[in-house]
Amino acid sequence: MAKGVRFNARTIFRGLAGLAGVAFAVVAYVYVTLPDVRVLATDNPTTTAFMQLRAREAKAAGRDAPPVQRWVPYNRISANLKRAVLTAEDDLFWQHDGVDLDQIRASIEVNWKRGAAVRGASTITQQLAKNLYLSPSRNPMRKVRELIIARRLEAALPKVRIFEIYLNVIEWGDGVWGVEAAARRYFGVPASALSREQSALLAGAIVNPRLLNPGRPTRRLLRRQRIILANMRRAELPPAIAAAPKRDAAPPP
């Protein structure tokens, strides 16, 4: 009996050691095959994984849908828009290191109780990692890559630069990329002139930009706009939200 117990324990130990080895090998492979994000410190990305995905989808559907994007420097983006996006997507952006563990725990608890993925926990940095290099899939390995890339972005770039790239590359509708293209498409104004109300509509659409159209807002989007505006007022953020913590350098031209 004792011999059988020892045999089972040894078998279990070997199995766990094997699993640990496989897990380490997978993580090591993922880590060494990740993109080098340091070039983003000075170079603006000309395309993203999401842009390429949408182009393939359009081609498969027989549509010619060239992306519309106009890069705009950080200091030429409305403070209203910056405030609205931070309120809607990541109000602790200036404090965390790319991953908000408290939000992840809360998300896991809510999703576990509901039995489905009903709440996300992605920071702005994680969303940028996904848009630049990955895909919308919910594959666990994709999420691991996203987390590692997010930490790399935070280590390599100032917060202001991360936020600048994010606002210039995220999807804001079919073929609409970045805040300048979105502001002109939906409101006929440059990104620097967005009002609080317009900014809240744009921020509210980020959660599902292919369904929620800021130019023709649904009741759902208008409800999100009201919530974002209320949260913006309660947060009492200074108008100069464009100013990042002093430790961050200004973004390159």
Contact 89, 206 (CB under 8 A): yes
Residue 48 DSSP one-character state = -
Q: What is the pLDDT of residue 196?
A: 97
Q: What is the pLDDT of residue 68?
A: 87
Q: Which long-range CB contacts under 8 A does 100-104 form with residues at least 24 apart?
A: none
| E strand or H helix that includes residue 177 | strand 176-177
Q: What is the pLDDT of residue 253?
A: 39
- Model pTM greater than 0.95? no
Contact 91, 235 (CB under 8 A): yes
Q: What is the pLDDT of residue 66?
A: 79
What phi and psi values does residue 69 have, to the nearest 5 degrees?
Answer: -150, 135
Q: What is the pLDDT of residue 118?
A: 37
Nearest residue to 153 (alpha-carbon basis) of 51, 39, 240, 245: 39
Q: What is the pLDDT of residue 90?
A: 94
Which tokens belong to 18? 């094997």
Q: What is the pLDDT of residue 123?
A: 95
Q: What is the pLDDT of residue 104?
A: 64
Spans of all domains in the chain: 34-235
Task: Domain 34-235: give its CATH architecture.
Answer: Orthogonal Bundle (1.10)
Nearest residue to 174 (alpha-carbon basis) of 49, 60, 48, 68: 68
Q: What is the pLDDT of residue 67?
A: 83
Contact 154, 41 (CB under 8 A): no
Q: What is the pLDDT along the chain (253 residues), one digit of tens a residue?
A: 555 555 566 666 666 656 655 544 445 545 567 999 999 999 999 999 999 999 999 989 888 777 889 999 999 999 999 999 999 999 999 999 988 877 666 655 554 554 444 335 699 999 999 999 998 888 888 889 999 999 999 999 999 999 999 999 999 999 999 999 999 999 999 999 999 999 999 999 999 999 999 999 999 999 999 999 999 988 755 444 544 544 444 444 3
Q: What is the pLDDT of residue 249?
A: 44
